[in-house]
Amino acid sequence: MADESSLRNSGGADETTPMAQGASSECPAESGVPEIRIGKAQVPAEVNGQSTTVELFTMSMGEEAIYLAPLKTWSQLDLFKWRVQGKLPGTPAGLEIAADHVKLAGETIWTSDLDGCAKLERAFNQWLALERGTIELAKQKAQTTAPAEPVATADEELPHYKIEMDKTAQPHIVCMEGRDVAANVAITAIGINSLITQGLIRRPQDWKIGALREWIELDGHVFKIKDGDAGLLELERALNERYVPAGAGDSGRDVMVFANPGSSSGFDIQFPVIEGVVENKRRHLDIEAMELLSDPQRCRVLRKGIIVKLAPPDLIFKMQTADGGERNLEPGPQNAIMVTGPDGQRKAIDLSQPVSHLGLGAPELTEIFNHPSVNRRARRKLQAEGGFDGWLEAA
């Protein structure tokens, strides 16, 4: 048997080339036709400098087939993007492929086993049934009516500011959203920049802070923060009157989606994340990215209480409820968006229902993530424009 490194370097079972039709022998199905079929194929390899062939498992769905080659990640093996197509709900659990065996969900199947392809086929289809059943139960649970808190109004989501002293008698700006503390920063360059980059305060045209932090200047007005309560109250009043980020000037898109065939979903996504400082980088649009986007402690893109989940190929937008549960968004024009698909056709997308990303391009997904029903900054822009009587956001 060839070892893993010799097989990897042999040129056989190249992950960039789909398996030739008829190149493998399939196991007979135990009953009916399974959705995932497993066979075996002889592929070129090199052992001790000699050319030979080795036997590998193959995996087929419909007319598409791949080699289960060792030392490859699932994204390298999944040449036909079965996850993106929605044929597979996720990466097979615990899949490990070696030169002489495959491990799946804790079970090891040897290529030398005469019943190996039947065992592996059974394991794959059991995993598929279990995964789909879990997703279906989650969808049914989500559709169950549950006590829900009212959706926060735009006024409740707008920041307001208080000036408080910390334990060392240093003044801090406390940014509140309703009764929640969105940020608590010292009056320093780092603190002010943090509020600006998080979109929690409107950027002043010009601002500076004294070397000893005894004053701060905002757009030509100097606030003496070491002069006691009077200066601090004046600063607090100015922040609430002139620097709440509700105007159109703060309405730029903070979520961008890009096509990427190398991503499991076919897309990358970029949005600001708070990691000590605010960073904004591209990442694959996958389950982990949606969890990060929905984490209010690390990301402030979505409106309060909004979460988004990826159950390939569906994006599911939900509102957290007061009892710790979740519910779908309310049906209606306020949660609908008109987009123009890659085919040029206009269509309405209802965010109160699962949204399949199949058939959508990066521009359409960008519009969805920046829609006022789910996006905090877009919601503030809508409030500034007085548009809260229902809307259809045009792409």
Across 111-135, average pLDDT: 88
**Strands (DSSP E) found in 48-170:** 50-61, 64-67, 96-97, 101-104, 107-110, 159-165
Q: Calculate the alpha carbon distances from 329 to 22, 90, 150, 291 in Å.
A: 48, 25, 11, 18
DSSP annotation of 29 reads: P
Q: Name the average pLDDT for the chain.
A: 80
Residue 187 pLDDT more than 50?
yes
Torsion of CA 177, 178, 180, 183, to 10 degrees: 20
Between 169 and 151, whose confidence is greater? Answer: 169
Q: What pLDDT is stored for residue 270 in this prediction?
A: 94
**Nearest CA to 269 among 280, 279, 284?**
284
Provide the 10 A C-beta neighbour count for residue 40.
18
Residue 192 pLDDT more than 80?
yes
Residue 254 pLDDT more than 60?
yes
Across 13-23, average pLDDT: 49
Q: Could you tell me the two tokens for 116? A: 């190996």
What is the rounded CA–CA span in Å between residue 348 and residue 328? 17
Residue 86 pLDDT more than 70?
yes
**Nearest CA to 163 among 134, 142, 186?**
186
- Predicted confidence (pLDDT) per residue in 288-311, tens digit: 999 999 998 788 889 888 999 999
Instruction: Collect contacts of 205-213 with beta carbons under 8 A, ≥24 apart.
Output: 213/170, 213/187, 213/188
Q: What pLDDT is stored for residue 19 in this prediction?
A: 58
Q: Is the CB of residue 12 less than 8 Å from the CB of residue 54? A: yes
Across 89-98, average pLDDT: 82
Residue 351 pLDDT more than 70?
yes
